[in-house]
Amino acid sequence: MADKLKNLLLAVLLVACSGEGEKKKVLVSSKGLPSELLLVVDKAVWNSDLQDSINGIVKAQVPGLMQVEELFRVTRILSHDYEATHTTFHTKLFVKVDKDLDKPMMGTRRNEYAKPQLELVVAAPTLDELREYLTLNSERIKEILVEAQIEKRVEQLRKKYSKKVDDDRKEVLGMSVRAPENMKATKKGERFLWGGTNLLEKDMNLVVYTYDWHGEELVYTGSYVEIRDSVMKHNIPGSSEGQWMQTVRERENNHPLVECAEREINGRKVMEARGLWEMRNGALGGPFVSISRVDTAAGRVIVGEGFVYSPSTDKRDLVRQMEAVLRTLR
């Protein structure tokens, strides 16, 4: 019954723009800027206090960055202004009150008018029920929308990627990865490979390394940072003696500025870590994101990390691109 309600609501919201009975065409490529979200909201909802609840979701801060950046580049329109030109946007969020519903609900539809595309609808019979539902499900809504952005980038990487990085990764670690096409430079080490764009701005870097696994659980903050810093010190030195990459720590208690969480990606249990890196005795630094997973057959832990350097620009889209790269690691 719930699935029928979801499909019905999606049809009611979206069919008006395509014309009833119109035959579906071959799907075009979805449109929209990187991290752009089309927010379609009822006028009555937007003119209420729910505006704050909605903004709390779509304008939430990206975790793990050095400065405040919002999760999405939001384009907002009212429901009655939604028309055919909006149908091919990549990521869309509809928020509405529908008195015909028995209870609040959330539904998704993919690749209906373009590819790749996600349409997410959140609706409830009343404003009060919608407010409560948005509060209870805010994290899940953000997760769905962010995942859609990452999936779009993965789709692009499948078509265009750095063959140099992929070939070296296979040679050193026996794995495949789809790194950005402009990632040409590589460095091989023992059970380690780095690939980078070597740019002064918007510089993206990929690191993959492995270490032995003896049946323990995936490591968390303390041991993860210890292993990370050891690997980076050995493999990513600075331009001068006494310089190497390390994890940023709090000055007061030396606690690493890293957030770790257990997740499931591509059907596998992984540990995701987000934090900040710096060059010891140097001026470079920026955010990083990594995933660690156990390869039981080979008795090893595989760690993939993307880190960026772009002191004069926003970093959200760079980090999100590296998250997509990590999803392609096989």
Q: Are residues 211 and 187 in the same domain?
A: yes
- At 135-172, the pLDDT tens digits run 999 999 999 999 999 999 999 999 999 999 989 988 88
Is the per-residue pLDDT at 101 higher than 60?
yes
Is the per-residue pLDDT at 13 higher than 70?
no
Q: Are residues 166 and 126 in the same domain?
A: no
| Residue 330 pLDDT | 85
Q: Are residues 286 and 166 in the same domain?
A: yes
Boundary of a domain, candidates 158, 176, 191: 158
**Joined tokens for residue 163:** 């063959």
| Residue 214 pLDDT | 86
pLDDT-based confidence at 281, cuts 50/70/90?
confident
Boundary of a domain, candidates 132, 158, 184: 158
Higher per-residue confidence, 215 vs 3: 215
278, containing H or E segment: strand 268-279
Distance CA 152, CA 150 (A): 5
- At 208-255, the pLDDT tens digits run 999 998 887 776 767 889 999 999 999 998 888 889 999 999 888 888
| Residue 106 pLDDT | 94
Average pLDDT (52-73) is 95
| Residue 9 pLDDT | 53
Q: Are residues 184 and 297 in the same domain?
A: yes
Average pLDDT (31-54) is 96
Boundary of a domain, candidates 125, 143, 158: 158
Average pLDDT (111-117) is 93
Distance CA 77, CA 73 (A): 13
Is the per-residue pLDDT at 204 higher than 50?
yes
- At 64-78, the pLDDT tens digits run 998 999 999 999 999
| Sign of CA pseudo-dihedral 111, 112, 114, 118 | negative
Q: Are residues 149 and 164 in the same domain?
A: no
Is the per-residue pLDDT at 19 higher than 80?
no
Q: What's the number of domains the chain is made of?
A: 2
Nearest alpha-carbon partner for 13 in 85, 105, 119 = 119
**Joined tokens for residue 283:** 């001026």
Q: Are residues 193 and 148 in the same domain?
A: no
Domain carrying residue 315: 160-327
Average pLDDT (169-188) is 91
How many Cβ atoms are within 10 Å of 241's Cβ, its own excluded?
Answer: 8
Higher per-residue confidence, 240 vs 313: 313
Distance CA 160, CA 156 (A): 6
Distances (CA, A) of 109 to 1, 11, 94, 324: 17, 10, 12, 21
Show Cβ contacts of residue 77 under 8 Å, excluding neighbours closer than 6 positions. 38, 39, 40, 41, 86
Q: Are residues 116 and 164 in the same domain?
A: no
Straight-line distance from the first to the last Cα atom of the chain, in angstroms, rounded to the nearest whole number: 38
Q: Are residues 61 and 171 in the same domain?
A: no
| Residue 318 pLDDT | 97
Q: What percent of the chain has pLDDT over 70?
A: 92
Q: What is the CATH number of the domain that holds 242?
A: 3.40.1000.10
Is the per-residue pLDDT at 23 higher than 70?
no
Average pLDDT (195-200) is 94
How many Cβ atoms are within 10 Å of 289's Cβ, its own excluded?
Answer: 21
Distance CA 296, CA 301 (A): 8
- In sequence order, the β-bridge partners of residue 37 are 74
Nearest alpha-carbon partner for 120 in 29, 54, 34, 61 = 54
